[in-house]
Structure 1
Amino acid sequence: MSDRQQRRGRGGRVVEKPKDFRKSFKELASYMMRYKFRLLIMVACAILGTIFTIVGPKILGQATTELFNGLVRKVQEKGGINFDKITMILARVMILYAVSALFSFIQGIVMAGIANDVGYNLRKDISTKINRMPLKYFESRPYGEVLSRITNDVDTLQQGINQSITQLITSVTTIIGVIIMMLSINGWMTLAALCILPISIVIVAFVMHHSQRYFRDQQRYLGDVNGQVEEVFAGQNVIKAYNQEEDVLQVFKEANDSLYESAWKSQFFSGMMMPMMQFIGNVGYVVIAILGGFLVIQNAIEVGDIQSFFQYIRNFTQPIQQIAQILNMLQSSTAASERVFEFLHEEEEPQTVENPTNPTNLDGQVTFDHVRFGYDPNQIVIHDFSANVLNGQKIAIVGPTGAGKTTLVKLLMRFYDVNSGSISIDGHDIRTFDRNGLRSLLGMVLQDTWLFHGTIMENIRYGRLDATDEEVIAAAKAAHADEFIMQQPDGYQTVLDEESSNISQGQKQLLTIARAILADHKILILDEATSSVDTRTEGLIQKAMDHLMEGRTSFVIAHRLSTIKDADTILVINDGDIVEQGNHEELLKKNGFYAKLYNSQFEQVA
């Protein structure tokens, strides 16, 4: 099992501190205050729609009383049923219910709009946040876990808001309104009905206490499962090549079992609430039926009042059940919001500085002055690195794997900041630049290519979005990519899929080089830029690169030492320090570390 899997522990568990439900709920409520005007409209419509519904049963009770009295009068031969009066009563009820439905329709539309806007803006905020996050955040977490916050957690939050807020308002309004209406009928019957309230509260509190952590675990494990699925999907070739299918399945099974366990428990507690509440409600019906019959015999209430009271009891117990379900839904939504806002509150990479250095009109002289850096301050990677690179020089950085070559590039791009020392461009510390301004000076071609779902033309134009089609084609020709592009079914309009699997790795590299040529930056960084192409293509690219690097400061990281023979200066790095420097011929004459590296690449097995 890998170190990464061991850190996760059994079942994909990630050790996290307990979450603060109240704090997360307050934060979600604060976020929604940006929609306070529409929320007020929704609340008003929900309350008015509920009030009109609550009044209906009492008026219907009048119709029942009139019907009962009419039958009594008919039996006593003192008259009959007044159907006109009953019709008028029923018409009033119909109008009330129609108005109530109208208000409910309005509040439903408004709430749906708010929920969709919350989901839309959260995704936009997360997307904006991603662009301000330091690289170390993404290098320390699986991509799938981050993606889960954008997809699953935001969806859960959006659905919870849409379904729970209006139900919570209408349920609370219904409970208050029903109590008032029941008191207007009879105090003793109301007191009997209210006896079920403390029992209901105890049940709700019990379920919430036990289910809250399971809902939170469910969201966390779902993110972890998504992370594993993303990794496995991206690494299928490696998994099959090393026959690790069984191990991967076992790790996934453990994570999936944890998700199943937390989901089952959360749904179990959620599902047991409704039957328990219904049982208590039925007991209430029996008590009210006995008490109501006794009061009718005593002429304390009318027959229609019993019918109205039964409806109010149903309207009283139902919102209590709904609140119980809503609270469970709110727990799930709040657990999702915890993860979303946790991401939104992560430490950002400062984008601007006071009085930033203007990146224009700079020559491109780069100075490393006693640079010291470690990803972990206790584990230093670069100990004491100093170098002065003049404008237009081609600097090659070579050394064994793990020597700190790519780390230097990350420091120059300010993906990380040095622990001590400084890096300067034309005498200006790079920390005095805005990050966007600094990176506008630097063009970069990495060993790991990155292309997005879109046409070849769009992928090359990513280097400079205002470039014309002619400029894009010229850059592709300079990178010797035009020939293979024109062999594609739709030429420059050929669409690359998500993984760019419809072109080879070498062709991907050619496109990224074309992108860098189009960008036309002052300083070039080539990190193993030709590592994925064949020898012939490498020669062509090298010529294009030589032309591109004319007049520009260039840093070339290479394992193939034959590609950097013409470098002005070669910096040989080992364990984060420069052990040798000079041009190719000088370093070979020294017969030192560089010479051993160079000769080892051309040794032939006897």
Structure 2
Amino acid sequence: MRRLFTDYGRENRSAAVVGVVASIFARVLDLAPPVLLGYAIDTVIRDEKAFFPFLPGGWLPADDAGRVLFVSGLIAGSFLFGAGFHWLRNWGWNSFSQHVQHAVRTDTYDEMQRLNMDFFAAKQTGEMMSILSNDVNRLERFLNDGMNSAFRLSVMVVTIAAVLFYYNWQLAFVALVAVPLIGWFTYRFVQTIQPKYADVRSSVGQLNSRLENNLGGIQVIKAANTEDYESERVEDVSEDYFDANWDAIDTRIKFFPALRVISGVGFVLTFAIGGWWVVAGPPLFFTGTLSAGEFVTFILLSQQFIWPMAQFGQIINMYQRARASSERIFGLMDEPSRIEENPDADPLDVEAGEVVYDDVTFGYGDGETIVEDISFEVPGGDTLALVGPTGAGKSTVLKLLLRMYDVDEGTIEIDGQDLRDVTIPSIRRAIGYVSQDTFLFYGTVEENILYGSFDADREAVVEAAKAAEAHEFIQNLPEGYDTMVGERGVKLSGGQRQRVAIARAILKDPDILILDEATSDVDTETEMLIQRSLDDLTENRTTFTIAHRLSTIKDADQIVVLEDGHIVERGTHEDLLAEDGLYANLWGVQAGEIDELPEEFVRRATERTAEVDVDEEGDEHDGDDAGESSEASPAQDD
């Protein structure tokens, strides 16, 4: 919480200062009516004291009726000016809390999206949404309601205590007798409730993750007829949240009634002793006098004093909830990234587009090496194809080129520049990437094609769509390029989404192009049309392509065959067929020559499939293994 105020409060302190100052004036004016009422009783009704002796006589009315009206005017003025200061107080605290909330949310998102991909593979989307939404909103409620109430009540307590001591210091001690007990009781409550709120925040994150996964996979749920099964799973996580939340609620609802009882002790004692004092003189060891007006003021102010003391528990409760949320927020902000940009890095300068992998080794930090000793060279303008069985590491190799991860050993260079010595944004500006897991944002078709090339005009968008064989189907949509594609592009077919993604890459016109199963979701005829367009796109452009349909890459300048993270073959299509190795066997599978495949190849294929099924993390990391979108990773929960 100290960090919250240090990092974000200082930037908005002017609004907080307005809130603090207005709180002071508003609460002082709130206390004026009971003080003036008691004063009027003693000076006008009972005539026991002089009427405002510190004011010039010419300002004051001479008769009692005029004096009553004079005091009434002062009370009315206190209400009027108090209302103005209450508005200013609310404006200051609301402005402060809203600006801090906005800054915290945007900074947290910015830090999160810059983390490398293995963070998203390990985290659930629902949990991240819970932090960015629920936890940040909880901070806003504390900064507005909690801080507002804290200053308001602090001013009230201090001012009331000062007035009570001014009137009668002995009776003031009676009114304040419950304060130490309230302080101890509140401290015990804080110690008890803090870990319970942490459990609540964790359980709500799990609940959000389960709901997000199920809503994202609703089609699979319906197709598998597993609604009852998923309802039970949601019920389980909802019950965990219920138990954690109820545990915190149970503690809270016991605390506040007890606090009210303790707070009421001071009021009862004040009434009993003060009433006796006025009627029969000072009781017990008390000395001095107490007028009726002072007693009325004591009763009214004690009533206002008791409830603020009880409300401090509410503020402590809000503080603990905000503290639990702030720990999650700053924990996400401080999440370390495996990718660190050199502060002296220069932008990448692409001329020929030559790419060199030199003894590259990489693992995802879990102790398992995914690719090892990968070396190849791609001259500028050439096309290199990566092929191999599922789980071989093909997508990982190309994500290293995008610097989604940093290599553990070896180097990757573009035109002689080590990727670790150039800025990350310049790398990604130079590379176009079309993934097998096509993601479209909620918006129009045109907005999705424009994504990353926001300055392009409609004419350029249409030309890119034509090159991707997407223009015809877009024209047939209800609103053409202005048609909303729905969440994740759900209103389009898989092939249509893929063509929109290809159009996006074409519009970017990158120096280097990566095609990761870019035509996996289209039919054979559409693939032929897209492939013809891609041939034009890849001409004189350094291109990397991954394809399980080997027919789409047989004309590549170089084909690299991966198995278990190692390069086992390389060459042209004809060279690799002549070697009669792994590539030739994969070609035979697609050619329908299954009966002619070697027994060893079939055995290894069976083993690899079993390894992929068991290795959940490998699934999440390697795009050619089962999709690596962080938004769709239900396997994490199973």
> What is the TM-score of this pair, normalised by structure 2?
0.86
- 5+ residue gaps in structure 2? 49-62, 282-287, 596-638
Cα distance in 1 for residues equivalent to 2:264 and 2:504? 72
Distance 1:267 1:396, change over 3 A: same
| Separation of aligned partners in 2, 1:354 and 1:150 | 29
Alpha-carbon distance, 1:43 to partner: 0.7
Give 3-state SS (helix, strand or coil) of 2:469's partner. coil
Deviation at 1:360, TM superposition (A): 3.5
| Among 19, 29, 48, the residue aligned to 1:52 | 29
Residue of structure 1 equivalent to 2:480: 491
- Paired residues of 1:273 and 1:321 also in contact (CA < 8 A): no
**For the residues of structure 2 that align with 1:189 and 1:198, how far apart are their CA atoms?**
16
Alpha-carbon distance in 1 for matches of 2:594, 2:570: 29
**2:313 matches 1:324:** yes
1:347-377 deviation per Cα after TM superposition (whole angstroms, max 9, x unaligned): 2476753443443452111111001110026
For residue 289 of structure 1, report the CA deviation from its aligned partner: 2.1
Using the TM superposition, give the Cα deviation of residue 148 of structure 1 relative to its aligned residue in structure 2, in angstroms. Answer: 1.2
Aligned to 1:12: none
Task: Please list, as runs of the form range in 1=range in 2, the aligned pairs for 1:184-263 lying within 5 A after superposition.
Answer: 184-263=166-245
Partner of 2:499: 510
Q: Is residue 582 of structure 2 the alignment partner of residue 593 of structure 1?
A: yes
Tell me: CA distance 1:470–1:596, structure 2 relative to 1, closer, same or farther (3 Å): same
- Alpha-carbon contact 1:372-1:421 (below 8 Å) kept: yes
- Of 474, 491, 508, 2:463 maps to 474
- The 5 A counterparts of 1:241-320 are 241-296=223-278, 297-298=280-281, 300-320=289-309
Counterpart AA for 1:58 = V
Paired position in structure 1 for 2:529: 540
Deviation at 1:134, TM superposition (A): 1.6
Residues 180 and 470 of structure 1: CA distance in aligned 2, closer, same or farther (over 3 Å): same
For residues 44 and 220 of structure 1, do their structure 2 counterparts lie closer, same or farther at Cα, with a shift above 3 Å needed? same
Aligned mates of 1:551, 1:357 — CA distance in 2: 26
Deviation at 1:66, TM superposition (A): 4.4
The 1-side partners of 2:42 and 2:474 are apart by 86
SS at match of 1:381: strand
- Cα shift readout 1:331-356 (whole Å, capped 9, x = no counterpart): 11221122112212222476753443
**In 2: Cα distance, 1:351 partner to 1:521 partner:** 24
Letter in 1 for 2:69: T
Are residue 28 (structure 1) and residue 17 (structure 2) matched? Answer: no
In structure 1, how many angstroms separate the alpha carbons of the residues matched to 2:297 and 2:452?
73
Residue 584 in 1 paired to residue 573 in 2?
Answer: yes
Query: Can you list the C-alpha shifts for 1:191-220, whole angstroms capped at 9, x where unaligned?
Result: 111211122122212222211122222122
Match of 1:95 among 62, 77, 95: 77
Q: Which residue of 1 aligns with 2:546?
A: 557
Amino acid at match of 1:393: D
| Aligned-residue offset at 1:574 | 0.3
- 1:49 alignment partner AA: A
Contact between 1:398 and 1:405, CA under 8 Å: does it hold in 2? yes
> Does the 8 Å CA contact 1:460/1:515 hold for their aligned counterparts?
yes
**Residue in 2 aligned with 1:166?**
148
1:129 equivalent to 2:111? Answer yes
Distance of 2:448 and 2:232 partners within structure 1: 39
In the alignment, the residues of structure 1 paired with residue 273 and residue 65 of structure 2 have an alpha-carbon distance, to the nearest angstrom, of 30
More off after superposition, 173-182 vs 209-218: 209-218
C-alpha distance after superposition, 1:53-72 (max 9, x if no partner): 2243222112233465269x
Contact 1:66 1:82 in 2 (8 A): no
Q: Let me know the Cα RMSD of the aligned residues.
A: 2.0
Residues 62, 89 of structure 1: 8 Å contact kept? no
The DSSP-based 3-state class of the residue aligned with 1:566 is coil
Shift of 1:494: 1.2
Greater Cα shift, 133-142 or 414-423:
133-142
**What do residues 400-436 of structure 1 show as CA deviations (whole Å, max 9, x unaligned)?**
0110100001101000000000111111111111011
Give the aligned partner of residue 53 of structure 2: none
Normalised TM-score (structure 1):
0.91
Rounded Cα–Cα distance in structure 1 between residues aligned with 2:277 and 2:136: 54
Deviations along 1:560-587, whole A, 9 cap, x unmatched?
1111111111101001111011111111
Cα offsets for 1:304-347 (capped at 9, x unmatched): 11111011111211111111111101111221122112212222
- Number of the residue aligned with 2:93: 111
User: What is the aligned counterpart of 1:380 among 369, 380, 383?
Assistant: 369
Q: What's the counterpart of residue 69 of structure 1?
A: 46
- The 8 Å contact of residues 225 and 255 in structure 1, kept in 2 or not, is answered as yes
The share of aligned pairs that are identical, in percent, is: 34
Q: CA deviation at 1:242?
A: 3.5
Q: How many equivalent pairs are there?
A: 574
Q: Matched residues in 2 for 1:64 and 1:230: separation?
A: 65
